[in-house]
Structure 1
Amino acid sequence: MLISFEKSFLFVHIPKTGGTSIRMALSAYQHENEHWWTNRLLQRCGISINYCLGDYRHLRFRTHDPIMAVQRHFPPDTFRSLFKFAFVRNPWDLLVSAYKYIQTVPSHKRHRLVTNQKFDDFIEFAIAKDIGQQLRMIADPNGQLLVDFVGRFENLHGDFAMIAKRIHVQAELPHVNETRQTTPYQEYYSQRSKDRVQFAYQDDIETFGYEFDPTERIAVSAAA
């Protein structure tokens, strides 16, 4: 989550969609919360003052908070005035990226568990823990999108350039948290795990128009 009152935008960071690069590129415009560290330290002691500070500008939001967390506590006019955006990714690709990332980061809280998991087992784990769910991060409980623009990881640089122009900033994306993936994500899947993702992430797949292997559609179209 990154909010800028100076440039009037709100970025919702969905994990494994290029969000770390986006936050770094836009960090110069992030709202400085004078109570941020105090709030964080108190929360670690089991004391929360986050929603007792009065001014919504003092609220602390977590990196991957959903947009509803902001809508719930911001004045309606302020929420509407912000240009709200997020990026999404093909769910099958995203889950492979999450699997490889957790395996390569020893400090990750799920590293030990996932390192010893076969991919099909990880898919079951991800479904049970709601890992990789995207629509619910940027929509209300009825599935109505609350963002003004949804960029795609598959067109990260092009869509980010459009956003930068829209919010009147000059920024370039750095390359961070890249998970080197030499094997096509499709090859990680068995028929069962492919179908499990199709079912469990159906809302994301249908809303954002994803399919397991878009190259198959392109090949058929070219042949026709």
Structure 2
Amino acid sequence: MLLSPGHRFLFIHIAKTGGTSVRAALARRRWADPWYWPMFLCSRLSHLSGHRIGTKLPRHAKAIAAKELLPREVFEGLFKFAFVRNPWDLQVSSFHHIRRERPQYLGGHQDFASFLRWKLDPARPPQYHLDTSIELQSDYLIDLHGNLIVDFVGRYERLEPDFDEVCSRIGIAAPRLPHRRQANDRGADYRRYYDDATAELVARHFAADIKRLGYRFDGIDGAVSA
């Protein structure tokens, strides 16, 4: 999550949706925010009192966390945005990320299909690095009553034009969007990783995302529903 009180925006960073590139592009603007350095110092020094203050929200915190922690008028005055991704594509990306950077979390499953079945098995003991990618993306965007509480939901599939729209809404010139953490160990078409059974497994597990975010196995079906 990236908060800029000066530029009045809040970026909700859902893992594996291009968020690292978005954060990098907006970092310079954040450093120029007159509120950034006081917030940074308060966060670093607050431990001296024995308490941490909420000036730095967790990287992958949900929008509801900011709504609960920030004063109501501050939260409502922010332009809140996030990016989402086709759930079938996201699972392929997650598999390659874990295999490349944390192979000890594969659970002995070296191919995508067996790893996916094991990862989505409800009887499997939870593991942090796996369970962030089996959470619903829509849960990052809603309040406790299921209401959408962000102002704009961009898509990984059209990252650059949607990022330009974000910058226009913030009121800044769009900086170049760097390609951070770009994988080169997978094919471009996520669909070739699936058979009917594994595609249906993702469809069942992420049914709420598919419905709310307007995705289908082979693309985008519609807009994000409120």
Structure 1 residue 112 corresponds to structure 2 residue 104? yes
Q: How many aligned residue pairs are there? A: 200
Structure 2 CA distance for aligned equivalents of residues 125 and 11 of structure 1: 32
Structure 2 CA distance for aligned equivalents of residues 23 and 172 of structure 1: 12
Query: Residue 81 and residue 211 in structure 1: after superposition, are their counterparts in 2 closer, same or farther (change >3 A)?
Result: same
Query: Residue 125 and residue 9 in structure 1: after superposition, are their counterparts in 2 closer, same or farther (change >3 A)?
Result: farther
Q: 1:122: which partner in 2? A: 115
Structure 1 CA distance for aligned equivalents of residues 176 and 87 of structure 2: 26
Question: Mind listing any 5+ residue stretches in structure 1 that lack a counterpart?
Answer: 218-224
The aligned runs of 1:194-213 (5 Å cut-off) are: 194-213=199-218
- Residue-by-residue CA offset, 1:43-64 (whole Å, 9 max, x unaligned): xxxx9723xx4xxxx5221110
- Residue-by-residue CA offset, 1:94-141 (whole Å, 9 max, x unaligned): 110011111112xx4xx3122842322332344353524200011113
The aligned runs of 1:62-211 (5 Å cut-off) are: 62-105=58-101, 108=102, 111-114=103-106, 116-117=108-109, 118-127=111-120, 128=122, 129=131, 131-132=133-134, 133-170=136-173, 171-180=175-184, 181-211=186-216
- Assess if the C-alpha contact under 8 Å between 2:2 and 2:12 holds in 1: yes
Q: Which moved more, 1:176-185 or 1:64-73?
A: 176-185
- Residue-by-residue CA offset, 1:155-182 (whole Å, 9 max, x unaligned): 0000000111111222120011112232
- Assess if the C-alpha contact under 8 Å between 1:102 and 1:115 holds in 2: no
Query: Residue 92 and residue 123 in structure 1: after superposition, are their counterparts in 2 closer, same or farther (change >3 A)?
Result: same
- Assess if the C-alpha contact under 8 Å between 2:15 and 2:132 holds in 1: no
How many percent identity over aligned positions? 34
One-letter amino acid of the counterpart of residue 55, structure 2: L
Query: Residue 125 and residue 36 in structure 1: after superposition, are their counterparts in 2 closer, same or farther (change >3 A)?
Result: farther
Instruction: Report the secondary structure of 1:34's partner residue.
Output: helix
Structure 1 CA distance for aligned equivalents of residues 183 and 92 of structure 2: 10
RMSD: 2.2
One-letter amino acid of the counterpart of residue 123, structure 1: L
Structure 2 CA distance for aligned equivalents of residues 198 and 140 of structure 1: 23
Q: 2:51: which partner in 1? A: 49
Structure 2 CA distance for aligned equivalents of residues 140 and 179 of structure 1: 33
TM-score (ref. length: structure 1)? 0.81
- Assess if the C-alpha contact under 8 Å between 2:8 and 2:170 holds in 1: yes
Q: 2:43: which partner in 1? A: 36
- Residue-by-residue CA offset, 1:10-58 (whole Å, 9 max, x unaligned): 000000100000000001233342133456xx6xxxx9723xx4xxxx5
One-letter amino acid of the counterpart of residue 63, structure 2: I
Q: 1:222: which partner in 2? A: none
